[in-house]
Structure 1
Amino acid sequence: MKLSKIAQACLILSLSTTSLISHATPSAESNDKQLNQVVDAGTQINQSASQSQQRVNTISEQIQTKLQQFKTINKEIDGLTVYNQQMNTQVANQLKELDQIAVSMEQVSIIERQISPLMARMIETLENFVALDVQFLTTERNQRITDLKSMMERADVAISEKFRRVLEAYQVEVDYGRTIEAYTGLIDIEGSEQNVDFLRIGRVSLVYQTRDGKKLGLWDNASKSWKPLSAQYRLDINKGLRIARKQLAPDLIIVPVVQNSAE
């Protein structure tokens, strides 16, 4: 059976189309595979870039931390430099002081050798002064001198403390000359020992009055004895005793005064 020309043409076209499809299908699959490979490669590159960026960030943070530490250490170094300069200056001054102390220590032994005889002479002078002075608080003042002599023989008392005690005794004697004082004591009056009130006004006047107020006396330092005193001074002496005992406000009083050889 013979085909018409139109049928032959359609058959030829059909066969050509089938042939083209059979040849085109393998080529598309190949392109998809290549595209997937490209996408995978891009993904790997992005992941690698992300990891690299993370490493860069970490390194950058470490660098910033090290930089801050560096700046902090530099500040500490600057502070230590200034501190060392100050310490060097202080050390130099302390070395000078040590030299001065060493010189002073060499002189201490010399001073100690000189001050001990000086204190002995001061105590002796004070003892002579008390013996020549107006005879008030005799027991107390002599006991103070005895204590000073005993202290000078003690090895457990420093030289400075001994000198302080001697100066203190001198200060007490100085204060006697500018104070008023009332105290009681025993005195021999006409062969009879009696308890009397003493009134001391500085070192210019030392008087007594018996408890009954009948007898008055004045210390005469020239003769080292008590002299009878006129009764006209009784009121002033009583007033002076009350002033000395702080029982009366300070006021003008009239008392006898004698020239003392110790002055």
Structure 2
Amino acid sequence: MKKQRMKAVALSTAISAGALFAGAAQADQLDAIFETSQSKLALAQASQKRIDKLQDDTDSLLNQFKTVSKQIEDLRVYNAQLDKQLANQRTVLNDLDESINNVTVIERRIQPLIMRMLDGLEQFIELDVPIYLDERRDRVAKIRANMERADITVSEKFRQVLEAYDIEAEYGRKLFVYTDTLSVGGQDLQVNILGVGRVALMYQTLDTKYSGAWDQSQRAWVELDSGEYRAAILKAIKIARKQATQDMIQLPILAPEAAQ
């Protein structure tokens, strides 16, 4: 009986020891499984980080690609616009070249024209009634001197000649008076020269004692009857100087001659 109890205890002890060894073995296996799981999780996390980084890099590259594509498209539009502008500029340059060539031809033609106009103006002044004679001669002389200057453009020379023509035309459209010196009665006297356009040109001494008129047919000054025209000429002089109101005046006007 006693032996049987000892066997039972021994058996129970053996079973307990076996269970203990079995439990220890299972714990080691669990630790190994846990470590393997942790390692796989770390690998998975690292892989996910690489994937996220690749995704971020891909998104960045995609955005860069879109930006560069938009810039390329903008450059294409800009280049197309520049091509149109360059084409227009080439057309303008061609027109300018043609204009420059035409200007050269015009300058060669206009220079002789200016000289002919100046010669005609000078001849006209000498044949015209002696209005501001010295001033007009000086003006033509200055313009003629400018014709040889290289620092004055052809257009400016032409403008000066046209301006002189305008001044000449203005003399025939206004009532004017100025002071000059004439030989009257064998002596040089200061006189007021009165012009009614180019219709009549008269003089009167400053003391109103002598009066006269220009006779274009004789190309000379002719003395007038002071008693008949003295007051009329004096009044006209005052009107020309705006010292009197405009009024009807009887002045000596020579009848026009028939053209030959």
Query: For the superposition of Structure 1 and Structure 2, which TM-score range results when normalised by the shorter chain?
Result: 0.7 to 0.9
Question: What TM-score, normalized to structure 2?
Answer: 0.80
CA contact under 8 A between 1:134 and 1:203: conserved in structure 2? yes
From 44, 52, 61, the equivalent of 1:66 is 61
Question: What amino acid does structure 1 have at the position aligned with 2:230?
Answer: A
Residues 23/116 of structure 1: CA separation in 2 closer, same or farther (3 Å cut): same
Q: Summarize deviations over 1:238-261 as a string: whole Å, max 9, x none.
A: 432332xxx67x744536344678
1:47 and 2:46 correspond? no
- Percent identity between matched residues is 34
Question: What amino acid does structure 2 have at the position aligned with 1:220?
Answer: D
The answer to which of 41-50 and 19-28 deviates more is 41-50
CA contact under 8 A between 1:208 and 1:218: conserved in structure 2? yes
Give the equivalent residue in structure 1 for 2:230. 231
Task: Name the count of aligned residue pairs.
Answer: 253
CA contact under 8 A between 1:236 and 1:253: conserved in structure 2? no
Which sections of structure 2, spanning at least 5 residues, go unmatched? Answer: none
CA contact under 8 A between 2:172 and 2:198: conserved in structure 1? yes
Question: What amino acid does structure 1 have at the position aligned with 2:58?
Answer: I
Question: What TM-score, normalized to structure 1?
Answer: 0.79
How far has the Cα of 1:138 moved from its partner?
A: 1.0
The answer to which of 137-146 and 38-47 deviates more is 38-47
Please state whether the residue corresponding to 1:188 is helix, strand or coil: strand
Residues 62/69 of structure 1: CA separation in 2 closer, same or farther (3 Å cut): same
Q: Summarize deviations over 1:116-151 as a string: whole Å, max 9, x none.
A: 221111111101111122211111110111122222
How far has the Cα of 1:154 moved from its partner?
A: 2.8
Give the equivalent residue in structure 1 for 2:17. 22
How far has the Cα of 1:109 moved from its partner?
A: 4.1
Question: What amino acid does structure 1 have at the position aligned with 2:171?
Answer: Y
Residues 149/34 of structure 1: CA separation in 2 closer, same or farther (3 Å cut): same
Question: What amino acid does structure 2 have at the position aligned with 1:69?
Answer: Q
Question: What amino acid does structure 1 have at the position aligned with 2:36?
Answer: A
Please state whether the residue corresponding to 1:76 is helix, strand or coil: helix
Give the equivalent residue in structure 2 for 1:221. 216
Please state whether the residue corresponding to 2:241 is helix, strand or coil: helix
Question: How far apart, CA to CA, are the structure 2 residues paired with 1:30 and 1:40?
Answer: 15
Question: How far apart, CA to CA, are the structure 1 residues paired with 2:72 and 2:164?
Answer: 60
Please state whether the residue corresponding to 1:178 is helix, strand or coil: coil
From 173, 192, 199, the equivalent of 1:204 is 199
How far has the Cα of 1:180 moved from its partner?
A: 4.0
Residues 92/231 of structure 1: CA separation in 2 closer, same or farther (3 Å cut): same
1:140 and 2:140 correspond? no
Q: Summarize deviations over 1:1-49 as a string: whole Å, max 9, x none.
A: xxxx4x6665444333322221122222222222222222222222222
Question: What amino acid does structure 1 have at the position aligned with 2:238?
Answer: K
Give the equivalent residue in structure 2 for 1:242. 241
CA contact under 8 A between 2:177 and 2:237: conserved in structure 1? no
Residues 72/150 of structure 1: CA separation in 2 closer, same or farther (3 Å cut): same
* Higher RCO (CA < 8 A, seq sep 6+): 1
Question: How far apart, CA to CA, are the structure 2 residues paired with 1:259 and 1:61?
Answer: 109
